[in-house]
């Protein structure tokens, strides 16, 4: 039986191919969360009642499964290319980020505005979050160096400078790896599977926001990752101003 939705990734024109902007692990988890919510309490029916095609549930499930498989294949194909020094850098950056946050929280415990900024920094699991956190933590340390003068256990300038370097190095290393694997067939297959899923998820989210517009559950149809990313951009803009 044919589907209302396009489930054929090869039917997508190369010039129109949509590539992920959100880390795939995060994207797939958010898609799975939407699916889990709709699969209970007859919630799919509420979306059908506002006009979503009735084969959306099956199409969404197939597209999500296909995207997961394609992502796994791409990860297996590219993982050997990830140099050991990149992995070591990410581990060191994660540890230093935690040290920087801990040091700031104690030394700046009487500064409410800094504590508020600290509370808004969320330690994410993706490389984009890690790089952004490193940059944010470095800036807050450098902006408040006098507060660390009496703490002999925390070399604030050195930590801040190293964090700032990681904030630049991690995205650069990620871009380099992507460039190295940019023509891999597994990457094209991953992007095509993502495109199929993203089109369906987009329609599901649109219908969900409309069907649940008067309910607190409407937040389930947005991206928490995008909300956090936009909040970080606003913070960075405020810091610059």
Tokens of 155: 């070399």
Question: How many residues are given for the chain?
Answer: 241
Characterize 30-58 residue by residue with b for buried, 16 or more Cβ atoms within 10 angstroms of its Cβ, and e for exposed: bbeebbebbeeeebbebbbeeebeeebbe
Enter the pTM of the model: 0.61
Span 23-71, pLDDT tens digits = 899 999 999 999 999 999 999 999 999 999 999 999 999 999 999 999 9
Cα(191)–Cα(211) distance, integer angstroms: 30
Distances (CA, A) of 34 to 7, 64, 202, 211: 19, 11, 11, 14
Tokens of 139: 């800036």
pLDDT of residue 118: 58
Instruction: Tell whether the torsion through CA atoms of 155, 158, 160 and 163 is positive or negative.
Output: negative
Q: For the chain, list residues with pLDDT below 70.
A: 1-2, 79-85, 87, 100-126, 174-183, 236-241
Domain boundaries, given as residue ranges, for the chain: 19-81+187-232, 84-179
pLDDT of residue 219: 93
pLDDT of residue 174: 65
Cα Rg, the chain, nearest whole Å: 22
Cα(220)–Cα(241) distance, integer angstroms: 33
pLDDT of residue 220: 94
pLDDT of residue 227: 86
């Amino acid at each position: 039986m044919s589907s209302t939705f396009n489930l054929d990734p090869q039917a997508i024109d190369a010039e129109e191919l949509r590539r992920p902007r959100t880390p795939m692990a995060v994207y797939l988890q958010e898609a799975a969360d939407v699916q889990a919510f709709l699969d209970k309490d007859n919630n799919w029916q509420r979306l059908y009642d506002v006009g979503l095609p009735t084969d959306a549930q099956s199409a969404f499930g197939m597209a999500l499964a296909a995207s997961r498989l394609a992502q796994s294949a791409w990860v297996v194909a590219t993982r050997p290319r990830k140099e050991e020094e990149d992995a070591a850098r990410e581990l060191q950056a994660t540890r230093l980020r935690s040290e920087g946050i801990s040091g700031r929280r104690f030394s700046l415990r009487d500064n409410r505005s800094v504590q508020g900024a600290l509370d808004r920094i969320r330690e994410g699991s993706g490389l984009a979050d890690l790089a952004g956190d490193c940059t944010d933590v470095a800036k807050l340390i450098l902006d408040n160096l006098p507060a660390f003068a009496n703490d002999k256990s925390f070399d604030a300038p050195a930590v801040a400078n190293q964090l700032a370097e990681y904030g630049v190095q991690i995205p650069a290393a990620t871009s380099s790896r992507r460039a190295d694997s940019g023509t891999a067939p597994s990457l094209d297959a991953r992007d095509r599977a993502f495109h199929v899923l993203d089109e369906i998820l987009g329609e599901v989210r649109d219908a969900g926001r409309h069907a649940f517009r008067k309910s607190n559950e409407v937040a389930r149809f947005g991206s928490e990752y995008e909300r956090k990313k936009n909040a970080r951009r606003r913070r960075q803009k405020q810091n610059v101003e």
